[in-house]
Amino acid sequence: MEKIAINKYRNVDNGSLRIEDAGKTVKLAGWVDTIRNFGELTFVVLRDTYGKTQIVLNKEFIPLSKEDVISVEGKVVERESKNKNMPTGDIEVVAESIVMLGKCSKELPFEIKNSEKVAEDIRLKYRYLDLRAEYNQKMLKLRSDLLLFVRNYMNEQNFVEVQTPILTASSPEGARDFLVPSRLNPGKFYALPQAPQQFKQLLMVSGIDRYFQIAPCFRDEDARADRSPTEFYQIDMEMAFATQEDVFEVIEGLYSAIFKKFANFEISEFKKIKYADAIRDYCTDKPDLRNPLKVVDVSAVFESTSFSVFQNKTIKAIKAATGGAKPRKWYDKLTDFLKSREAKGLAYFVVGENDELSAGVSKFVTEEEKAELKKLVGFETGDTVFFVADEEERAIKFTNVLRNELGKELELIDENDYKFCWIVDFPFFEKDEEGNIAFSHNPFSLPQSSLEEIKKDPFGTLAYQYDLVINGYESLSGAVRNHDQDMMVELFKLAGYGKEVVENKFPALYNAFSYGAPPHAGSAPGFDRLMMLLTHNEFIRDVYAFPMNKNAQDPLCNAPNTVDEKLLRDVHIKLIEE
């Protein structure tokens, strides 16, 4: 009864009354959740964000409908028929007076308790109704609690919270910017920040030793199940005089505290996996380690094969304990699944007694090839060995898809478990489509090699760059930053950019490094994706109060929409019809 302000509408919330409150006169307020009429008696369940209380109406009151907002005064009594599924199920309140506070005068577009079954655009159009559902109320409370917990934790670790600008300059790398035209500077545009990257590095130059903020970030991207198409929040942090391991220590402490409090889960290990090893063993830099299946490259085994599907291809193999041959339609289903993802197909064979191979492509495997596969893959009786054969990049992509699907089909993944791993030692450079040198990730990361070594072997250069992966999701990215101006210019030259690009596109950062910059490192855990993981949500939109749909539209406020021509003139914009 301490949760709410006591006033003329209520003196207790709908989740607090217990049997020891019997005999008290109370005043409650909330939404009418259900109405059950039994002639002389009517039972109303009143709901607010704290819970539900049953109200008994044994005389005539004002007519009530579902979702009316009312204030009720009455006496708490013990229920004859108790409800063990309600925290307040031992009592009910016999109404003495009812005041209508907000009439629900329109027909509801859907039942609040069934809102999760309603089409997405309807839910988003009436999001204020959807949010009344108990699950969404709990989600918003959890989000609030997590925000407060993170802030308190970072404060205890001597991090200073600093808000960085929302209107900034457009960045030449990364995703598409959201642009904002300037009224006072005709023809020029601000950009909403994709991340506070440059500002947090400037704070390190400014003498802030440890910075963080719960930062809004804006990227004009296509929607995915785990990605918002417009905006997201991240726990942005940076540390001066710090190494990669210093960042790991802070993040591991933060995540251990979060998962213990909000998931009742003790993290036993933050495994470290080199990028190259992750690609080799899992065909992804975001492996779900709950899935025990590993990948083996068997291209060399089939160098002289007469089987046309395997000729001149990168061939990846996955051994899975299937308990012998599955029904043919099971393999066909996997094949169709891969083809739906634009793969060419799926090859396999089943291992029987004495390593006899059957089904699938078994007739195309020679005894010599079988012996080599046995050494590499280690198959046993009852296993199925799956193969993906394609050009290297496509083989890696589709083997990852296959591994994930096998994990589901064979029920290898414990949905209540969490597996954490750091992916480290990312390549600094990669080849672009023309075979030229290009930055593979963040051009401002610190290389692990000297400039002389980098020039000799740019594609062999590794970066002090890292991702934290949880259950197959990238939870954060980070890096040790390159604060050496001369090296920065030389690295951009290797990628085909002159010194003027660095000076013109990143003037603040480049110039700041002229005035004494400390070594620094940081990361940016995704707050919304962290909420997804803690709540076992499949879709990131379910952890936002007011999300966009998959087309980056807000059906609630009808955004984006057209604007008055005068507003366009004010910002010096004229629309050209296509």
Domain boundaries defined on the chain: 19-102, 134-268+523-570, 291-409, 420-515
Q: Which two tokens stand for residue 234?
A: 């991240």
pLDDT digits (tens, 9 = 90+) for 58-99: 988 999 999 999 999 999 999 999 999 999 999 999 999 999
pLDDT, one tens digit for every residue, the chain (578 residues): 457 888 999 999 999 999 999 999 999 999 999 999 988 899 999 999 999 999 999 988 999 999 999 999 999 999 999 999 999 999 999 999 999 999 999 999 999 999 989 998 999 999 999 999 999 999 999 999 999 999 999 999 999 999 999 999 887 656 789 999 999 999 999 999 999 999 999 999 999 999 999 999 999 888 777 788 899 999 999 999 999 999 999 999 999 999 999 999 999 999 999 999 999 999 999 999 999 999 999 999 999 999 999 999 999 999 999 999 999 999 999 999 999 999 999 999 999 999 999 999 999 999 999 999 999 999 999 999 999 999 999 999 999 999 999 999 999 999 999 999 999 999 999 988 888 898 988 888 999 999 999 999 999 999 999 999 999 999 999 999 999 999 999 999 998 888 888 888 888 888 999 999 999 999 999 999 999 999 998 888 889 999 998 888 899 999 999 989 899 999 999 888 87
Helix (H) or strand (E) holding 402: helix 392-409
Question: Within 13 A of 344's CA, how many CA atoms are on the CB side?
Answer: 12
Domain 291-409 class in CATH: alpha beta
Q: Which residue has the tokens 């490094």?
A: 513
The backbone torsions φ and ψ at residue 435, rounded to the nearest 5 degrees and listed phi first, read: 85, 10
Which of 260, 49, 234 lies closest to 147, judged by CA?
234
Residues 6+ apart with CB under 8 A from 256: 266, 267
- Please tell me whether residue 562 adopts helix, strand or coil conformation: coil
Cis bond before residue 560 (omega within 30° of 0): yes
Tell me the C-alpha distance between 359 and 362, whole Å: 6
Which of 295, 305, 282 lies closest to 370, judged by CA?
305
Tell me the C-alpha distance between 408 and 329, whole Å: 17
Q: Which two tokens stand for residue 565?
A: 């021509």
pLDDT for the residue 173: 59
Number of helices (H), then strands (E), in the chain: 15, 22
Measured CA distances, 325 to 330, 358, 470 (Å) = 10, 9, 32
Q: Please give the model's pTM, rounded to 2 decimal places.
A: 0.91
- Alpha helical stretches, state H, 431-536: 451-456, 485-494, 499-505, 507-512, 527-535
Residue 418 · residue 471 · CB < 8 Å: yes
Tell me the C-alpha distance between 24 and 93, whole Å: 9
Which of 136, 224, 169 lies closest to 552, judged by CA?
224
Following DSSP, what letter does each residue of 314-376 receive, concatenated? EEEEEEEE-SSPPPHHHHHHHHHHHHHTT----EEEEE-GGG-EESTTGGG--HHHHHHHHHH
Tell me the C-alpha distance between 419 and 421, whole Å: 7
Q: Which two tokens stand for residue 56?
A: 């008994």
- Please tell me whether residue 63 adopts helix, strand or coil conformation: coil
Helix (H) or strand (E) holding 145: helix 134-156
Residue 116 · residue 128 · CB < 8 Å: no
Topology of the domain comprising 19-102? OB fold (Dihydrolipoamide Acetyltransferase, E2P) (2.40.50)
pLDDT for the residue 1: 44
Which of 240, 169, 231 lies closest to 200, judged by CA?
240
> Helix 134-156 to helix 244-263 angle, to the nearest 10 degrees?
140
Domain 134-268+523-570 class in CATH: alpha beta
- Please tell me whether residue 303 adopts helix, strand or coil conformation: coil
Q: Which two tokens stand for residue 540?
A: 């990131």
- Please tell me whether residue 168 adopts helix, strand or coil conformation: strand
Measured CA distances, 18 to 43, 90, 93, 98 (Å) = 18, 7, 11, 21
Measured CA distances, 66 to 48, 55, 97, 389, 487 (Å) = 13, 14, 18, 59, 67
Residues 6+ apart with CB under 8 A from 376: 296, 298, 301, 317
Q: Which amino acid is at 49?
A: T
pLDDT digits (tens, 9 = 90+) for 269-292: 999 999 999 999 999 999 999 999
